[in-house]
């Protein structure tokens, strides 16, 4: 059989056993029908009765709320939900994380302003401030007032840090929260003792200002970040709530998807989403699986073939036997893979936390050594004062603002350049990327078909050939027909009069154009009718993965037109620029190998992986990470979600699905792959500025901690809380100014 004679093309599907583990996907189910050539789907399309399915439109990306700061509240990643048990009617996924986070931002803002109000009287009653500015303020019970105000500040303003410290302690992962808590707890306890039980200087001023500055830093950082991921909720939203169940007599009734069990038979009408995974037992149609599998051309479905829940039915009516429900469905398995990858990624620490971890160890070690030495060399009150001074100075005020201020400026620059940063920790790692993996459909390509080649027959003008095809295809809503229509509109062609439009089942379509019979047919139809055509040229185009249609006028060949998913102009530039930076580029796609290889060759990519399932995509990412390589993934579809979550940096195209957007660490608002280069440049510039600020914030500790410990006490040189506060203020101002100087080349 000639491979292009699709009227005789048969498809068989082996029975696939039920999946018992959510992490496993069956390739034979997903790729059923992939081997059919693109023009077959076009030629067997019922143009006359086509109903264009409504695509899953992403929400306005820019309107998504800011992210929960990891220290204040750790969202446990939700487990994969059993779709067959979910209450769809009461589900409001968009309101959960986003609404909660907005409340958290408001809570931090409130804590900051309340703490600021309480810090003012504490500051005025501070002996250090009175001495510094030359005034005296005292009254009976002043120390009690300061104690009460500081106690409120400690428990109310310090609550987020104390809770965060408990989490870090349980996870055996010291960070910013534990360092802050170490300083404020030691300052509060020691100051309380000096107020009522022992003689010594209190640290109430340092306690209040440290909590105030840290609240400000966290508030700034939370406002500059995007909302917590709603990837799992968005995946769940892809599934229909109801299905048309068929009884034994063939009558349909609308039921909730939760009521369906394996073996039930359901009806899928034109344009509807397929509710669950199953096998088609009656009917034929084209099904759009691009969002799930990455196959750019709608797949022709016949009885005996698999139907994937979440894919969109085309023009035909399908009857399907349900095979999988709940956690066994394809989409539930994607949810599980995303969940697993996100849980692994959430353990990463940012630069500020890494710095805080080492400062915590240094502070504890220095504090213990200081206390032990002065307990032997002097007395208990002096030993306690030196130890607390060390612990407080080890957590500089500027540390709370060093990174948040840079992040706020970085986020603003990113937004102006069409980038939305969701995960700051992963964004920091972008500077170290060794390999970038691109999805093809909708990422490197536009996701829309366009005319790539027009080959007129001898004596036929190219414009006349395109005008004939344009006039006939104007009547169709098929994606490939739209590609020809777009070309005709771009060339400002005037359509001819078309009558008696007909779909030729398994062959193509025909119509009377200005009273002359014009047909647009497949290569198989040309062979059936024994019509001559340029076989060598056709073979060349087909080898490039292009869909080829033939235009006939009264059964005489007018020429052929090749259509393909169009490569973005910016894709050429970004791959070339990555090569210059010695960053390898790979393509990972669910589309067929001929199309993928053609695009990969045109762009000059290092390697192409085609016909890859979502589970395999994430496995490829893991493999590419071997050798301590940092890997970024750029994608736009549901099928990319596991790989986006698995990659060191997940980058979503803004025009892609909500699922991809919610899974990614960075979103390209303008859907331009060239913005990947901006991510790398901005990440490098941001990291440099963070390091500079951390040096200003903690660099003086090299001198301050030994002096606070009293190493030069015998020479009469000892750092007091007043001197420490002055130095901290200077370093905080320097950090603020330095952050504003951030820019990208």
Q: How many CA atoms lie within 13 A of 280 on its CB side?
A: 29
The predicted pLDDT at position 632 comes to 95
Higher pLDDT, 48 or 185: 185
Number of neighbouring beta carbons within 10 Å of residue 515 = 7
What local confidence, expressed as pLDDT, does residue 343 receive? 58
Task: Copy the structure tokens of residue 243.
Answer: 């299905």
pLDDT exceeds cutoff 50 at 733:
yes
Return the pLDDT at 637: 74
Considering the domain delimited by 447-565, tell me its CATH architecture. Answer: 3-Layer(aba) Sandwich (3.40)
3-state secondary structure 191-251: HHHHHHCCCCCCCHHHHHHHHHHHHHHHHHHHHCCCCCCCHHHHHHHCCCCEEEEECCCCC
Q: How far apart are CA 624 and CA 712, in angstroms?
A: 54
Among candidate residues 513, 579, 603, the one with its CA nearest the CA of residue 551: 513
CA 521 to CA 624: how far, in whole Å?
43
pLDDT on residue 78: 35
Q: What average pLDDT score do residues 74-93 get?
A: 36
Q: Which of 196-210, 359-373, 385-399, 411-425 has the largest mean confidence? A: 359-373
Bigger pLDDT: 719 vs 140: 140
Model confidence at 647: pLDDT above 70: yes
- Higher pLDDT pick, 293 / 360: 360
Backbone angles phi, psi at 502, to 5 degrees: -135, 145
pLDDT reported for residue 412: 84
Give residue 603's pLDDT band: very low, low, confident or very high (50, 70, 90): very high
Helices (H), 125-203: 127-133, 142-152, 159-170, 176-196
β-bridge mates for residue 635, sequence order: 652
Q: What's the chain's average pLDDT? A: 78
Q: Do 618 and 646 contact (CB within 8 A), yes or no?
A: yes
Lowest mean pLDDT among 396-410, 474-488, 709-723: 709-723
Digit-coded pLDDT (tens) for 296-340? 667 888 899 989 888 889 878 999 999 988 777 777 777 776 666
pLDDT of residue 416: 84
Indicate the pLDDT class of residue 469, thresholds 50, 70 and 90. very high
Least confident window among 92-101, 414-423, 463-472, 645-654: 92-101
Place of tokens 């769940």: 236
**Residue ranges of the chain that CATH labels 3.40.50.1000:** 418-445+568-683
Q: What is the mean pLDDT of residues 227-252?
A: 75
Res 590: pLDDT: 82
pLDDT-derived band of residue 45, with 50, 70 and 90 as boundaries?
Answer: very low
Q: What percentage of the chain reaches a pLDDT higher than 90?
A: 28
Task: Provide CATH 3.40.1110.10 ranges for the chain.
Answer: 447-565
* Helix%, strand%, coil% for the chain, nearest 5: 50, 15, 35
Domain with CATH 2.70.150.10 in the chain: 6-59+239-330
Q: What is the pLDDT of residue 77?
A: 34
Helix axes 176-196, 204-223, angle to 10 degrees: 160
Best CA proximity match to 108, nearest among 200, 38, 212, 20: 212
Residue 17 has pLDDT above 70, yes or no: no
Residues 427-440 have a mean pLDDT of 91
Which token pair is 650?
């997940």
In SS3 terms, 538-602 reads as HHHHHHCCCEEEEEEECCEEEEEEEEEEEECHHHHHHHHHHHHCCCEEEEECCCCHHHHHHHHHH
- Give the lowest-confidence range in 324-333, 368-377, 595-604: 324-333
Mean pLDDT of 254-279: 91
pLDDT of residue 408: 83
Provide the token pair at 51: 């109903």
Per-residue pLDDT averaged across 592-618, rounded? 88
Q: Which fold has domain 418-445+568-683?
A: Rossmann fold (3.40.50)
Which of 478 and 273 is assigned the larger pLDDT? 273
CATH number of 6-59+239-330: 2.70.150.10
Q: Give 727-730's long-range contacts (Cβ < 8 A, gap of 24+).
A: 727/700, 728/396, 728/397, 728/398, 729/397
Residues with catalytic roles: 439
What mean pLDDT comes out for the span 396-410?
81
pLDDT of residue 342: 59
211 closest CA partner among 304, 88, 117, 91:
117
Please indicate whether residue 217 or residue 651 has the higher confidence score (pLDDT): 651
What pLDDT shows up at residue 546?
A: 87
Q: Which of 21-35, 90-104, 293-307, 518-532 has the highest mean pLDDT?
A: 518-532
- pLDDT tens-digit map of 669-691: 888 888 999 999 999 999 999 88
Percentage of residues in the chain having pLDDT higher than 70: 79
On the question of pLDDT at 147 being above 80, the answer is yes
- Indicate whether 237 pLDDT > 80: no
User: Would you place residue 506 in the very low, low, confident or very high pLDDT band (cuts 50, 70, 90)?
Assistant: low
Q: Kindly indicate the confidence band of residue 28, based on its pLDDT and cuts at 50, 70 and 90.
A: very low
Q: Say if residue 567's pLDDT is above 50.
A: yes
Find out whether 208 and 725 touch, Cβ atoms under 8 Å.
Answer: no
Indicate the pLDDT class of residue 617, thresholds 50, 70 and 90.
confident
pLDDT in tens, 376-396: 888 888 888 888 888 888 777
């Amino acid at each position: 059989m000639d491979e292009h004679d699709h009227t005789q093309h048969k498809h068989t599907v082996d029975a696939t056993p039920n999946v018992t583990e959510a992490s496993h996907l069956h390739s034979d189910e997903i790729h059923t029908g992939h081997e059919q050539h693109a023009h077959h789907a076009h030629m067997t399309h019922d143009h006359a009765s086509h109903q264009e399915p409504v695509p899953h439109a992403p929400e306005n990306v820019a309107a998504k709320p800011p992210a929960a700061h990891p220290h204040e509240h750790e969202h446990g990643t939700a487990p994969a939900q059993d779709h067959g048990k979910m209450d769809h009617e009461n589900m409001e996924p968009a309101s959960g994380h986003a609404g909660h986070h907005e409340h958290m931002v408001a809570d931090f803002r409130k804590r900051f302003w309340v703490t600021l109000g309480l810090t003012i009287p504490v500051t005025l009653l501070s002996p250090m401030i009175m001495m510094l500015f030359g005034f005296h303020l005292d009254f009976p019970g002043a120390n009690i007032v300061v104690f009460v105000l500081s106690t409120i500040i400690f428990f109310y303003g310090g609550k987020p840090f104390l809770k965060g410290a408990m989490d870090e302690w349980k996870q055996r992962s010291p960070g910013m929260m534990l360092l802050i808590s170490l300083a404020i707890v030691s300052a509060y306890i020691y100051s309380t003792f000096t107020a009522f039980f022992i003689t010594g200087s209190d640290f109430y001023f340092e306690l209040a200002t440290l909590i105030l500055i840290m609240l400000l830093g966290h508030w700034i950082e939370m406002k500059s970040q995007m909302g917590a991921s709603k990837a799992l909720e968005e995946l769940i939203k892809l599934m229909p709530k109801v299905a048309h169940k068929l009884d034994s007599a063939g009558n349909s009734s609308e039921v909730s998807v939760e009521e369906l069990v394996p073996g039930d038979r359901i009806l899928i009408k034109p344009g509807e989403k397929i509710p669950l995974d199953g096998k088609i037992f009656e009917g034929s149609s084209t099904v759009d699986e691009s969002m799930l599998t990455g196959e750019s051309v709608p797949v022709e479905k016949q009885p005996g073939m698999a139907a994937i829940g979440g894919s969109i039915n085309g023009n035909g009516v399908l009857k399907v036997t349900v095979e999988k429900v709940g956690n066994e469905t394809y989409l539930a398995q994607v949810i599980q893979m995303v969940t697993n990858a996100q849980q692994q990624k959430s353990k990463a620490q940012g630069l500020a936390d890494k710095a805080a971890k080492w400062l915590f160890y240094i502070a504890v070690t220095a504090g213990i050594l200081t206390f032990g030495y002065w307990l032997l060399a002097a007395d208990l009150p002096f030993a306690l004062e030196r130890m607390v001074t060390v612990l407080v100075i080890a957590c500089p005020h500027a540390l709370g603002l060093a990174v948040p201020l840079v992040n706020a400026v970085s986020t603003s620059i990113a937004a102006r350049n069409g980038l939305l940063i969701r995960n700051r920790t992963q964004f920091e790692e972008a500077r170290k990327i060794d390999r970038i993996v691109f999805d093809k459909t909708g990422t490197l390509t536009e996701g829309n078909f366009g005319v790539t080649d027009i080959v007129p027959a001898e004596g036929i003008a190219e414009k006349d050939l395109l005008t004939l095809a344009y006039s006939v295809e104007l009547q169709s809503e098929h994606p490939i027909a739209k590609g020809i229509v777009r070309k005709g509109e771009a060339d400002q062609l005037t359509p001819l009069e078309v009558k008696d439009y007909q779909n030729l089942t398994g062959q193509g379509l025909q119509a009377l154009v200005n009273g002359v019979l014009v047909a647009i047919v497949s290569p198989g139809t040309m062979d059936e009718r024994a019509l001559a055509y340029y076989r060598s040229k056709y073979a060349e185009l087909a080898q490039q993965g292009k869909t080829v249609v033939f235009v006939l006028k009264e059964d005489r060949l007018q020429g052929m037109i090749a259509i393909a998913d169009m490569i973005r102009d910016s894709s050429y530039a970004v791959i070339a620029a990555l090569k210059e930076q010695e960053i390898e580029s790979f393509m990972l796609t669910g589309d067929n190998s001929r199309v993928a290889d053609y695009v990969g060759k045109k762009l000059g990519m290092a390697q192409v992986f085609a016909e890859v399932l979502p589970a395999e995509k994430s496995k490829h990412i893991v493999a590419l990470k071997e050798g301590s390589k940092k890997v970024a993934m750029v994608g736009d579809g549901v099928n990319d979600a596991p790989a986006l979550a698995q990659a060191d940096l997940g980058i979503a195209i803004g025009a892609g699905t909500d699922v991809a957007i919610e899974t990614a660490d960075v979103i390209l608002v303008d859907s331009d792959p060239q913005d990947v280069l901006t991510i790398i440049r901005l990440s490098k510039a941001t990291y440099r500025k963070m390091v500079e600020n951390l040096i200003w914030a903690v660099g003086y500790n090299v001198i301050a901690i030994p002096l606070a410990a009293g190493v030069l006490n015998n020479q009469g040189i000892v750092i007091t809380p007043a001197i420490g506060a002055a130095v901290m203020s200077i370093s905080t101002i320097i950090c603020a100014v330095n952050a504003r100087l951030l820019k990208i080349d």
